[in-house]
Structure 1
């Protein structure tokens, strides 16, 4: 395996504390599905999922961030999974590139503001105001190219005829450039800790992502370190059908990738899939599967009675940590209650890793 010099990344302090306590770092739970379940009247016809809701109901989004922070999450993700300039324009939310930048910056800002208020509340809750505080990380969530198409192709990696790897690369390059402009504003400068590249279905797209990140870096535009989380239905291949080891190799070919793993997968494939990834990954592993089985766009979610309970989720999450996952959390159909139960389970098992300001 190629030896790549990896710079220090924001996960370092969290992972070091987690290693000392032999416990995982805790990620937040499902975001878009949480909002959809709690606010079913929100229209999803614009194809922007929670990114559209962030424009229409920012207070709801900020409250969800706060709930995950209060549940004890060490990392929270932004409501930008399907955000893109073209998507915003198609939904009628913006008319210009500048307006798209402003909307994305405002959406990322909701997580940053929620964290600032959470940290301040911790200080006020102490008798001296000088107690050690948790400062959770903020990760900008960015989905697959397929997630912006609204056809569930982020699960298969088959984006349609005429769409080549170069198109996927250019999409990510444009969106990273957009994000870089957002993070250079006074409100967001030095406030975002990392990127969460989520629901990536193929080694091909992983390669496009790292190529785009490297290209921006070569231009002098450095974004925070990123993780890449793959999605699949089977334990040994990507959604597109490539060996999962090839996907890990493609993702970790750049020093800008600080972790690799899986999200939006069924829990039953996690143990073997996690073992296959952990065996070859040169970076920490992140694991955040669904809490219920997704049957596809035609079938929707499986039987609601099959949704994993918070206690069972926490039990499995600790097992994933013992099997090689350094960061654990939940994707669709996991809630702040699932994360709170996991945090409590981590504490009972030996103590929660505590980053300090």
Structure 2
């Protein structure tokens, strides 16, 4: 694998799903956050495995710890403690591995993944994202991910920009190449570009959708990337089901994933990693493939904003 770029940002893989899979006796709408509340050692172990695999930007385990989702599950009063525990889990992993990595704050969809545009105002959404940014302000970078509409993306970008640290925004595409909201990729990138993120990416798409879209994304923004999932389908979760109902694709091996990533990098991507069902083994394959051909860096090192 020999991408044109001299430096590649390597994120971790499917953190939440890897944590959830290892805690076989826990089932909850709060997903990996529920695991962290009961078995924080699992979270630390997963972080450590991704660090050992070669990832140099790791995301906090707070994907479902949004005000709305915690409120619905009777855990809003624990929001501060959950974010504190997420930092501790990742810091313990860095201590255990003797490796410093970029800590990425997580700014996810506020109400659930794979949904369309929420019936909320920009100001309302921005207020909730500002709360999450404040709770994660000591992170090195902010990662806005799995965005399915430009309204939430705008609100998250506006809140993240106020922190004054590097941040990236990542959209989730449907099989037709557009967002769940019906907006185009070009519209999404144009909206994000107004806030000058460090990178604009695609995530939680299947390999085929991301591979098809990458050349267009490269043409739309100076620094881009992608990290796919390996689910058979996400429809059950999109319709309100638990992640327990999701099934992993058996055909997305580390080598298969690596071949797709190679194509994205050859197209011009400079950030990669993995989403749900992309394991430490997949990330290790990528890191080994990059070895002696490019420098693996953290997101904070990617460069000045355009």
TM class, shorter-length: 0.7 to 0.9
- Give the Å deviation of 1:170: 2.0
* 1:54-77 Cα shifts (integer Å, max 9, x gaps): 222211101110000000112111
Larger RCO of the pair (alpha carbons < 8 Å, separation 6+): 2
Q: Give the aligned partner of residue 305 of structure 1.
A: 250
State which of 141, 145, 150 in structure 1 corresponds to 2:110. 145
CA RMSD of aligned residues (A): 2.8
Matched, 1:270 2:210: yes
> What is residue 304 of structure 2 aligned with on the other side?
none
Unaligned runs of 5+ in 2: 302-306
Using structure 1 for the length normalisation, give the TM-score: 0.74
- 1:83–1:142 contact (8 Å) kept in structure 2: no
Q: Which runs of 4+ in 1 moved over 4 A?
A: 18-21
Seen in structure 2, the aligned counterparts of structure 1 residues 303 and 53 have a Cα distance that, compared at 3 Å, is closer
For 2:250 and 2:73, the matched residues in 1 are separated by 34
2:250 is paired with a residue of what secondary structure? helix
Q: Aligned equivalents of 2:132 and 2:106: distance in 1?
A: 14
> Normalized against structure 2, the TM-score is what?
0.85
SS in 2 for 1:268: helix
Shift of 1:195: 0.9
1:100 alignment counterpart = 79
1:343 to 284, 287, 291: 287
**1:249 Cα deviation from its structure 2 partner:** 0.9
Q: 1:50 to 1:351 in 2, by over 3 A?
A: same
Show the 5 A alignment for 1:1-357. Answer: 22=6, 24-44=8-28, 47-93=29-75, 95=77, 99-118=78-97, 121=98, 135-147=100-112, 154-159=113-118, 163-166=119-122, 169-183=123-137, 189=138, 192-213=139-160, 217=162, 222=163, 224-234=165-175, 236-255=177-196, 257-282=197-222, 284-297=223-236, 300-301=245-246, 304-306=249-251, 308-347=252-291, 350-353=293-296
TM superposition shift of 1:353: 2.8
Deviation at 1:237, TM superposition (A): 1.5
Counterpart contact for 1:27–1:73, Cα < 8 Å: yes
Which ranges of structure 1 fall in alignment gaps of 5 or more residues? 1-17, 123-134, 148-153, 184-188
Flag the structure with larger Rg.
1
